[in-house]
Amino acid sequence: MTEKTDNGVGNVPSRQRKRFPGISSRAYEHPADRSALVALRRLTGFDTVFKALSGLLPERSLRLLFLSDSVRVSDAQFTHLNDMLRDACYILDLEKVPPMYVTQDPKPNAMCIGLDEPIIVVTTGLVELLDEEEMRAVVGHEVGHALSGHSVYRTILLFLTNLALKVAWIPLGNVAIMAIVTALREWFRKSELSADRAGLLVGQDLQASMRGLMKIAGGNHLHEMNVDAFLAQADEYEKGGDLRDSVLKILNVLPRSHPFSTVRAAELKKWSESRDYQRIMDGHYPRRSEDKDTSVTDSFRESAGHYADSVRTSKDPLMKLVGDIAGGAGDLAGDLSGKLRDRFGGGSSRSGAADGAAQSEG
């Protein structure tokens, strides 16, 4: 079915899906992702600096490259993807539909890049791998990146990664750059969890999102795969044996821009069962009109709370050790605080303690 909307976006979803007018990306952003973005958005001069950087970044070159050597999605080319793109923008109320390209690459992948305006790129490997509902979640994922402003940081990450490779021959030349790249990758992994949530809000089909992640991990062999078994892998991975496995997991994930597929599936399922997700589906979510009033302090506090909860509830041996140490330190601090209060407490408490001591000595 098609329908013309008040913001000019046509081709609304072929089946009834809920729409989220004016939704802020804060509604679905992972706490660590959100706190970083809020801080950057509120940083004085941030926009000016990155506008200046745009002259150094190869954005114009990338746009020309995709325009000349890929297929632009439209009413005339890859029409089913064009419909999905418009649907996703309609559901998340993104007024300007980003350009979307299909590029020849057997590896399943998608990205949203660009400083001035985001562009979405999907590979032929991904288009051929996923069915319609699975692909809809992916398109929603990329539109979520666009709504959150992730394309800016993704472009910077690509630029810095390439720059690090070019200056690798200079002694210590890429150390500082790689430190920034590592930090950006850690943020970007969290941003992928945010975008997965956006994909679920667009597709509104958890099973399709799960199937897509399984296919990315194991190819087009759904008859050989099982969602519950796939999620059990994530649980086994998190428990992770001993401290050596915990360290190896950290080393394995450092060079990656995306979290592992089983981890993404488990995180998305957990969020789909949360009160936050249900409130969004019920129409209760933060609006873009309120973004300017967002508190950086509150966002950091929420992010810190999320990490504290993650450490406390994690089954990973290293995280459990960190939690035990933190808990032990808290208990020790409490004991010391109590003893100091008893020893140096003020007023009537001190008098009462002295009187008691005098009675004991007598």
Q: Give the torsion sign (CA, 24, 27, 33, 36).
A: positive
Tokens 């059990």 correspond to 232
The C-alpha atoms of residue 114 and residue 40 are separated, in whole angstroms, by 17
Tell me whether strands 100-103 and 71-72 are parallel, antiparallel or unpaired: antiparallel
Tokens 């009675």 correspond to 359
The C-alpha atoms of residue 203 and residue 61 are separated, in whole angstroms, by 32
The C-alpha atoms of residue 20 and residue 234 are separated, in whole angstroms, by 31
Point out which residues pair with 335 in neighbouring strands: none
Amino acid type, 162:
N
Catalytic residue among 142, 186, 224, 361: 142
Name every residue whose Cβ is closer than 8 Å to that of residue 253 and which is 6 or more positions away in sequence.
189, 259, 260
The C-alpha atoms of residue 300 and residue 74 are separated, in whole angstroms, by 41
Q: Does the active-site annotation cover 142?
A: yes
What are residue 355's phi and psi, to 5 degrees?
-60, -40
Amino acid type, 189:
R
Point out which residues pair with 123 in neighbouring strands: 103
The C-alpha atoms of residue 113 and residue 359 are separated, in whole angstroms, by 78
Using the CB atoms, write b or e for 264-296: b if 16+ within 10 Å. bbbbbbebbeeeebeebeeeebbeeeeeeebee
User: With contact defined as beta carbons under 8 Å apart, do 113 and 62 qualify?
Assistant: yes
E strands, the chain, are 71-72, 100-103, 110-113, 119-123
Q: Running DSSP on this structure, what letter comes out for residue 122?
A: E
Residue positions annotated with a catalytic role: 142
